[in-house]
A = this chain, B = another copy of it.
Amino acid sequence: MPVNIDEELKKAEVLIEALPYIQKFNRKIIVVKYGGSAMVDEELKRKVIEDVVLLKLVGFKPIIVHGGGKEISSWVKKSGMEPKFVNGLRVTDEPTMEIAEMVLNKVNKSLVSMIQDLGVKACGISGKDGGMLHVKKKLSAGEDIGYVGDVDDVNPEIIHALLKDDFLPVICPIGFGSDHHAYNINADDAACAIARAVDAEKLAFLTDTEGVFRDFEDKNSLISELTTAEARKLLAGGTIGGGMLPKLNNCIDAVENGVSRVHILDGRIPHCLLLEIFTNKGVGTAILGEDAEHFYNTNI
């Protein structure tokens, strides 16, 4: 027999190792916030989609919530305008909102296409579909920054309808206000609100960082696992860097509202989603409730 049986056997062992994880998350909803480098690099992108497709096929119910930040800016410029930000929030006037909605929906459908190509049924929706994401206008330090919204109500009916019929929902973070206008929503916030509304088992943020550091200047201080209480203490300590701050608040919020585990993953590592879910060595930082069982050694 010309086959290298040893090598093949190692593969079989890998599949067997995945058994307890497949069982653990069977029929569970996993919300993946997809953004950053993993969305720009074509190779990483393909791997993320492969990961999500695998999760779907082995019995999980993944939901993708994606952003589109860089491409929006590029189209704003292409249309002869200049992107503006206040406190890290995009100032979103009427024409900017129009472009944001167009770009996000285009990105949305291109992800749907990639998933379909791998043989899994997907459907791309925005927060307008089924009246899913209702927002209230967000102010930035009291200042009007246009059509930027905070989710204040989620109607998950369209998501459940798609899941029931075995479609993988791909969601772009556009909502609508009581003025019936479209609003841009921060994708992290949208993912968090959706995870809460559908009682997700897991919420995973694909980021451009390695995770949460005890001291963000010390690359050896990465934290594997944090309870919400520890996370709060850390935030109070003031050592948490800029972009991580709202993300960590989102994590705490999600865990305190029913999501079992929230993960801040390094989206620059290929297959980081699979690594997180199917191996007993976490990548990035997990945030969990006070009484959750700790999985890994933490170095906090």
Contacts and interface: CB of A to CB of B under 8 A. Distances in A.
Copies in the complex: 6
Interface stretch (A111-119, A235-243, A252-260): A111-119
A190 to B, nearest CB: 15
A46 to B, nearest CB: 10
A8 interface: yes
A153 to B, nearest CB: 13
A106 to B, nearest CB: 5
B130 A123 contact: yes
A212 interface: no
Given A109-B182, A113-B176, A14 B16 contact: no
Interface in A32-54: 47, 50-51, 53-54
A18 interface: yes
Interface string A256-291: 000000000000011100110011010100000000
Contact of A109 (B13, B16, B23, B101): B101
A81 B112 CA distance: 28
A3 interface: yes
Interface size range of chain A in the complex: 35 or more
Contact of A11 (B59, B102, B110, B279): B279
B78 A271 contact: no
A61 to B, nearest CB: 13
A109 B105 contact: yes
A3 B165 contact: no
Given A15-B54, A113-B182, A174-B109, A129 B118 contact: no
Contact of A116 (B53, B54, B130, B283): B130
Contact of A1 (B16, B57, B210): B210
A129 B124 contact: yes
Interface of A: 1, 3, 5, 8-20, 22-23, 26, 47, 50-51, 53-54, 57-59, 75, 78-80, 98, 101-103, 105-106, 108-110, 112-113, 116-126, 128-131, 157-158, 161-162, 164-165, 167, 174, 176, 180, 182, 210, 222, 269-271, 274-275, 278-279, 281, 283
The 4 closest A-B pairs by CB, nearest first: A102-B102, A105-B105, A12-B271, A161-B165
20 contacts: A3-B281, A5-B283, A11-B14, A12-B271, A12-B275, A16-B50, A16-B51, A19-B57, A22-B57, A22-B58, A59-B59, A102-B103, A109-B128, A109-B182, A116-B130, A121-B131, A124-B129, A130-B167, A158-B167, A165-B165
Given A23-B57, A112-B129, 9 more contacts: A11-B275, A11-B278, A16-B50, A113-B128, A116-B128, A121-B131, A122-B130, A123-B158, A164-B165
